[in-house]
Amino acid sequence: MITLALSKGRILDETLPLLAAAGIELAEDPETSRQADRRHPRPDLRIVLVRASDVPTYVQHGGADLGVVGLDTLLEHGGEGLYRPLDLGVARCRMSVAAPLDFDYAAAVKQGSRIRVATKFTRIARDHFADKGVHVDLIKLYGSMELAPLTGLADAIVDLVASGQHAEGQRAGRGRGDHADLGPAGRQPGGAEAQARADPRRSIDALSTAVQRRRA
Protein backbone atom coordinates (compact mmCIF):
# COMPACT_ATOMS: atom_id res chain seq x y z
CA MET A 1 0.00 0.00 0.00
CA ILE A 2 1.19 3.52 -0.85
CA THR A 3 0.68 6.26 1.74
CA LEU A 4 0.35 9.76 0.26
CA ALA A 5 0.84 12.73 2.63
CA LEU A 6 -1.05 15.95 1.89
CA SER A 7 -1.76 19.11 3.87
CA LYS A 8 -4.74 21.46 3.92
CA GLY A 9 -4.59 24.86 2.27
CA ARG A 10 -3.86 26.39 -1.12
CA ILE A 11 -1.52 23.61 -2.25
CA LEU A 12 -4.15 20.96 -1.50
CA ASP A 13 -6.84 22.95 -3.30
CA GLU A 14 -4.70 23.17 -6.45
CA THR A 15 -3.40 19.60 -6.19
CA LEU A 16 -6.77 17.84 -5.84
CA PRO A 17 -7.80 18.44 -9.49
CA LEU A 18 -4.51 16.91 -10.65
CA LEU A 19 -5.02 13.88 -8.44
CA ALA A 20 -8.64 13.58 -9.54
CA ALA A 21 -7.55 13.57 -13.17
CA ALA A 22 -5.24 10.69 -12.28
CA GLY A 23 -8.12 8.81 -10.66
CA ILE A 24 -7.38 9.78 -7.05
CA GLU A 25 -10.18 11.57 -5.19
CA LEU A 26 -10.99 12.27 -1.55
CA ALA A 27 -14.40 10.97 -0.51
CA GLU A 28 -14.82 13.77 2.09
CA ASP A 29 -14.21 17.50 2.06
CA PRO A 30 -10.76 17.93 3.68
CA GLU A 31 -11.70 21.38 4.98
CA THR A 32 -14.61 20.10 7.04
CA SER A 33 -13.66 16.54 7.89
CA ARG A 34 -11.66 15.80 11.04
CA GLN A 35 -10.47 12.46 9.77
CA ALA A 36 -6.71 12.54 9.13
CA ASP A 37 -6.27 9.01 7.79
CA ARG A 38 -8.31 8.46 4.65
CA ARG A 39 -8.72 5.15 2.89
CA HIS A 40 -9.09 5.45 -0.83
CA PRO A 41 -11.39 3.14 -2.83
CA ARG A 42 -8.22 1.70 -4.32
CA PRO A 43 -6.91 -0.89 -1.85
CA ASP A 44 -3.30 0.05 -2.59
CA LEU A 45 -3.59 3.72 -1.58
CA ARG A 46 -4.00 5.59 1.71
CA ILE A 47 -4.06 9.39 2.05
CA VAL A 48 -3.08 11.18 5.27
CA LEU A 49 -3.59 14.89 5.99
CA VAL A 50 -0.87 16.45 8.15
CA ARG A 51 0.65 19.86 8.80
CA ALA A 52 2.55 21.15 5.77
CA SER A 53 5.79 21.38 7.77
CA ASP A 54 5.41 17.72 8.76
CA VAL A 55 5.02 16.33 5.23
CA PRO A 56 8.80 16.00 4.57
CA THR A 57 9.27 14.37 7.98
CA TYR A 58 6.55 11.78 7.30
CA VAL A 59 8.17 10.88 4.00
CA GLN A 60 11.73 10.93 5.33
CA HIS A 61 11.01 8.60 8.24
CA GLY A 62 8.65 6.20 6.47
CA GLY A 63 5.29 7.46 7.71
CA ALA A 64 4.41 8.17 4.08
CA ASP A 65 5.83 7.00 0.78
CA LEU A 66 5.00 10.13 -1.17
CA GLY A 67 4.06 13.69 -0.28
CA VAL A 68 3.07 17.01 -1.82
CA VAL A 69 4.47 20.15 -0.21
CA GLY A 70 5.69 23.65 -1.05
CA LEU A 71 9.31 23.93 -2.10
CA ASP A 72 9.77 26.53 0.65
CA THR A 73 8.83 23.88 3.23
CA LEU A 74 11.12 21.34 1.65
CA LEU A 75 14.09 23.74 1.53
CA GLU A 76 13.50 24.77 5.14
CA HIS A 77 13.35 21.11 6.16
CA GLY A 78 16.60 20.36 4.34
CA GLY A 79 15.35 17.50 2.18
CA GLU A 80 17.82 14.92 3.46
CA GLY A 81 16.98 11.42 2.23
CA LEU A 82 14.31 12.74 -0.16
CA TYR A 83 14.10 13.31 -3.88
CA ARG A 84 11.72 15.44 -5.94
CA PRO A 85 10.33 13.45 -8.87
CA LEU A 86 7.84 16.08 -10.02
CA ASP A 87 7.16 19.82 -9.90
CA LEU A 88 3.37 20.07 -9.96
CA GLY A 89 3.44 23.67 -11.14
CA VAL A 90 0.76 24.84 -8.71
CA ALA A 91 0.60 27.33 -5.81
CA ARG A 92 3.29 29.53 -7.34
CA CYS A 93 4.84 32.20 -5.14
CA ARG A 94 8.17 33.81 -4.37
CA MET A 95 10.25 34.49 -1.29
CA SER A 96 10.87 38.19 -0.72
CA VAL A 97 12.77 40.54 1.53
CA ALA A 98 10.70 43.57 2.53
CA ALA A 99 11.42 46.57 4.76
CA PRO A 100 9.62 49.78 5.83
CA LEU A 101 10.01 52.82 3.59
CA ASP A 102 11.90 54.67 6.30
CA PHE A 103 14.61 51.97 6.41
CA ASP A 104 17.18 52.26 3.61
CA TYR A 105 17.70 48.56 3.01
CA ALA A 106 19.99 49.00 -0.02
CA ALA A 107 22.25 51.44 1.82
CA ALA A 108 22.44 49.19 4.88
CA VAL A 109 23.50 46.27 2.71
CA LYS A 110 26.06 48.37 0.81
CA GLN A 111 27.58 49.71 4.04
CA GLY A 112 27.87 46.22 5.50
CA SER A 113 25.53 47.01 8.38
CA ARG A 114 24.13 44.18 10.47
CA ILE A 115 20.41 43.85 9.73
CA ARG A 116 17.77 42.31 11.97
CA VAL A 117 15.50 40.09 9.88
CA ALA A 118 12.30 38.40 11.09
CA THR A 119 11.15 35.24 9.34
CA LYS A 120 9.92 31.71 9.85
CA PHE A 121 12.16 30.57 6.98
CA THR A 122 15.46 30.84 8.84
CA ARG A 123 17.38 28.28 6.77
CA ILE A 124 16.36 29.84 3.45
CA ALA A 125 17.05 33.36 4.72
CA ARG A 126 20.43 32.37 6.16
CA ASP A 127 21.56 30.83 2.88
CA HIS A 128 20.30 33.80 0.87
CA PHE A 129 22.04 36.46 2.93
CA ALA A 130 25.21 34.37 3.18
CA ASP A 131 25.35 34.15 -0.62
CA LYS A 132 25.01 37.93 -0.81
CA GLY A 133 27.54 38.56 1.96
CA VAL A 134 24.96 40.40 4.07
CA HIS A 135 25.35 40.34 7.85
CA VAL A 136 22.03 39.53 9.54
CA ASP A 137 20.60 38.57 12.89
CA LEU A 138 17.68 36.23 12.19
CA ILE A 139 14.62 36.37 14.44
CA LYS A 140 12.36 33.31 14.25
CA LEU A 141 8.66 34.18 14.13
CA TYR A 142 5.57 32.08 13.42
CA GLY A 143 2.86 34.73 13.23
CA SER A 144 2.35 37.98 11.33
CA MET A 145 5.67 39.09 9.86
CA GLU A 146 4.50 42.61 9.00
CA LEU A 147 4.35 43.56 12.69
CA ALA A 148 8.06 42.97 13.26
CA PRO A 149 9.35 46.15 11.53
CA LEU A 150 6.39 48.22 12.76
CA THR A 151 7.17 47.40 16.40
CA GLY A 152 10.94 47.76 16.04
CA LEU A 153 11.57 44.05 16.49
CA ALA A 154 13.29 43.79 13.10
CA ASP A 155 14.57 45.98 10.27
CA ALA A 156 13.20 43.73 7.54
CA ILE A 157 11.30 40.50 6.96
CA VAL A 158 11.61 37.47 4.69
CA ASP A 159 8.27 35.95 3.73
CA LEU A 160 6.34 34.25 0.94
CA VAL A 161 4.41 36.34 -1.56
CA ALA A 162 1.84 34.71 -3.83
CA SER A 163 2.41 35.20 -7.55
CA GLY A 164 0.82 38.40 -8.82
CA GLN A 165 0.71 39.95 -5.36
CA HIS A 166 2.96 42.21 -3.32
CA ALA A 167 4.06 41.90 0.26
CA GLU A 168 1.51 43.15 2.78
CA GLY A 169 3.75 46.05 3.71
CA GLN A 170 4.02 47.11 0.08
CA ARG A 171 0.25 47.12 -0.39
CA ALA A 172 0.00 49.43 2.61
CA GLY A 173 2.66 51.73 1.14
CA ARG A 174 5.26 50.81 3.76
CA GLY A 175 7.44 48.16 2.16
CA ARG A 176 10.41 47.91 -0.12
CA GLY A 177 13.40 45.64 -0.37
CA ASP A 178 14.90 42.77 -2.29
CA HIS A 179 12.18 40.80 -4.05
CA ALA A 180 14.37 38.29 -5.82
CA ASP A 181 13.58 34.59 -5.75
CA LEU A 182 15.44 33.19 -2.74
CA GLY A 183 15.16 29.60 -3.95
CA PRO A 184 17.23 27.71 -6.51
CA ALA A 185 17.37 29.19 -10.02
CA GLY A 186 14.37 28.25 -12.09
CA ARG A 187 12.37 27.06 -9.07
CA GLN A 188 9.64 28.89 -7.21
CA PRO A 189 10.14 28.44 -3.44
CA GLY A 190 6.42 28.06 -2.79
CA GLY A 191 5.58 25.94 -5.80
CA ALA A 192 4.22 22.54 -4.89
CA GLU A 193 6.47 19.56 -5.37
CA ALA A 194 5.86 15.85 -5.16
CA GLN A 195 8.51 14.17 -3.05
CA ALA A 196 9.36 10.61 -2.18
CA ARG A 197 11.88 8.63 -0.19
CA ALA A 198 15.25 8.17 -1.84
CA ASP A 199 14.54 4.49 -2.55
CA PRO A 200 10.89 4.54 -3.69
CA ARG A 201 8.88 1.63 -4.97
CA ARG A 202 7.93 1.41 -8.62
CA SER A 203 4.33 2.20 -7.80
CA ILE A 204 5.36 5.63 -6.44
CA ASP A 205 6.99 6.47 -9.76
CA ALA A 206 3.89 5.20 -11.54
CA LEU A 207 1.69 7.50 -9.45
CA SER A 208 3.94 10.49 -10.19
CA THR A 209 3.93 9.66 -13.89
CA ALA A 210 0.14 9.40 -13.94
CA VAL A 211 -0.24 12.89 -12.46
CA GLN A 212 2.37 14.31 -14.80
CA ARG A 213 0.66 12.85 -17.87
CA ARG A 214 -2.68 14.31 -16.84
CA ARG A 215 -1.05 17.77 -16.63
CA ALA A 216 0.34 17.51 -20.16
DSSP element (H, E) containing 124: helix 122-132
200/98 Cα distance (integer angstroms): 40
In order of their start, the domains of the chain are 2-91+190-215 (3.40.190.10), 93-176 (3.40.190.10)
Residue 126 CB neighbours (<10 A): 15
Closest CA to 58 of 44, 69, 72: 69
Query: How many CB atoms within 10 Å of residue 190?
Result: 22
pLDDT of residue 186: 28
Per-residue model confidence as pLDDT tens digits over 174-183: 445 444 444 4
Q: What is the pTM of this model?
A: 0.70
Q: How far apart are CA 74 and CA 162, in angstroms?
A: 17
Strand 175-176: give its sheet, edge to edge. 136-140, 115-119, 156-162, 93-100, 175-176
Q: What is the pLDDT of residue 1?
A: 77
Residue 4: phi and psi, rounded to 5, are: -105, 120
Question: What is the predicted pLDDT for the residue at 172?
Answer: 33
Which residue ranges in the chain fall short of pLDDT 50? 164-175, 177-190, 199-203, 214-215
